[in-house]
Structure 1
Amino acid sequence: MLKLHHLNKSRSKRIIWLLEELDIDYEIIAYQRDSETFLAPDELKQIHPLGKAPVIEDNGQVIAESGAITDYLITQYGKGKFAPSLDSKEYIEYQQWLHFAESSAILPLLLKMFVQKDGAKTQFLENYADSEAAKILAYFNSQLEGKRYLINDTLTGADFMMSFIVEIVKNAGLLSNFKNLVEYESQLQSHEKWHTANELEEKYD
């Protein structure tokens, strides 16, 4: 059975959502962050040297990185769902969103979180993070104009990946500044399994 190594309050939740939508048998192995450092426990290093989550084990393979996991699961178990066909022009756009979530999009948002958590005055970092985050979110918002989903007006791996970005923006109190993101979040919430993933995340928190 496929195993998902899940860390509370992490990127793992979107993988739970995807697994639920794929309707395959899987097991959640839950880990808790340190209450003081907020870091993952050392036990995760027994699964993958970086000691981060999510990580899945399937068919003798250990797979890390959310984008790679999403791509693997949809390819192996999607049965044609959740991704455009390889020979379509939409497939390149789809791949860009898979990578965008954990590259261009996440960095400035994490920097904003770290600056706020540290509380120290910065000479450069705070303004840089604010500027880059504004640019990224304006782009994301514009790409959703007139659309319910990112690709082909249907739920795909791009949406699973970008759902975590939406969650970060909402938790930061910024979501209401972006009309299309508000509508997009509402669309994601229309999926029953989205709520199932939230319930499971709360259960293992």
Structure 2
Amino acid sequence: MIAVHNLNNSRSQRILWLLKELGIEYEIKRYERDPKTMLAPASLRKVHPLGKSPVITDGALTLAESGAIIEYLVERYGSGRLVPALGTPDRLRYTYWLHYAEGSAMPPLLLKLVFDRIENEQMPFFVRPIAQAIAERVKSSFIEPQIAQHLDYLEAELGKSTWFAGNEFTAADIQMSFPLEAAAVRAGLNASRPQLMAFLDRIHTRPAYQRALDRGGAYELLN
């Protein structure tokens, strides 16, 4: 049976959701972040040397990286579901969004998270004004404009079709869910971009998404 090594509040929520969409049985092995550092425990590094999540095991196979896991599960267990046909324009878009989510969308969101923490980090009083000024400057001059550019781009793309790869829901939409959920919580995504907010509403009401939340437990990114 497939095991999902599930770190709380992580990208592994997408994998639990995909498995529910495909109707695949799985077990969850749970790991909790250190409440101070927010890092994964050492026990997760015993599964994969980087100690990242998601990681799945399927028999002798251990596989990390959300995009690689999604491709593996869809190809091995999907029976043609959640992926456009080979050779079609929708298939090319599908592949693009699978890579875009982590390769382009997530880096500026992660930078914002890091620099937000710098602004609020405890430090000697004489260092704090300098650190906060640097963090604010980096965010306002680079990170926030980058995020806005990506959100504008995504808003325009979803104006062309109901889902990212076309008019049918695919695993690419599952992959794209995490950066958009993160943007809604931490990076200013709101009703000013109605296509993106409608996308989030659509995915959050999918029965498989709700079942994955019930199975995986609290997902504080949505709070």
Q: For 1:136 and 1:165, how far apart are their aligned partners in 2?
A: 11
Distance 1:39 1:7 in 2: 10
Give the corresponding residue for 1:121.
Answer: 133
| 1:163 alignment partner AA | S
| Alignment root-mean-square deviation, CA | 1.6
Pick one of 190, 203, 214 that aligns with 1:188.
203
C-alpha distance in 2 between matches for 1:185 and 1:203: 18
Look up the equivalent residue of 2:134 and give its one-letter code: T
Q: Which moved more, 1:165-174 or 1:74-83?
A: 165-174
Q: CA offsets per residue over residues 67-101 of structure 1, 9 Å max, x none?
A: 00011101111111100112222211111100000
Answer yes or no: is the 8 Å Cα contact 2:213–2:219 preserved in 1. Answer: no
Compared with structure 1, are the counterparts of its residues 116 and 125 closer, same or farther at alpha carbon in structure 2 (3 Å cutoff)?
A: same
Residues 62-101 of structure 1: matches in 2 within 5 Å?
62-101=62-101
The one-letter amino acid of 1:122's match is I
Q: Which has the larger radius of gyration?
A: 2
Query: Please, which runs of 5 or more residues in structure 1 have no aligned partner?
Result: none
Matches within 5 A, 1:97-176: 97-119=97-119, 120-122=132-134, 125-126=138-139, 127-172=141-186, 173-176=188-191
The question of whether the paired residues in 2 share the 8 Å contact of 1:63 and 1:69 is answered with yes
Residue 201 (structure 1) aligns with: 216
CA contact (8 A) 1:30 1:204 kept: no
Q: Aligned residue pairs: how many?
A: 205
Contact 1:141–1:181 (Cα < 8 Å) also in 2: yes
Alpha-carbon separation, structure 1, partners of 2:195 and 2:62: 36
CA contact (8 A) 1:166 1:175 kept: no
Question: % of aligned pairs identical?
Answer: 38
Q: What is the TM-score normalised by the length of structure 1?
A: 0.94
Contact map agreement 1:148 1:187 (CA 8 A) in 2: no
Gaps (5+ residues) in structure 2?
A: 120-131
Q: Secondary structure at the match of 1:4?
A: strand
Higher mean displacement: 181-190 or 23-32: 181-190
Change (3 A) 1:187 1:146: farther
SS at match of 1:176: coil
TM-score by length of 2: 0.87
User: Where does residue 123 of structure 2 map in the other structure?
Assistant: none
> C-alpha distance in 2, partners of 1:16/1:68?
14
Give the corresponding residue for 1:177: 192
Equivalent in the alignment of 1:26: 26
SS of corresponding position for 2:104: coil
Q: Which residue matches 1:4?
A: 4
Tell me the SS of whatever aligns to 1:48.
coil
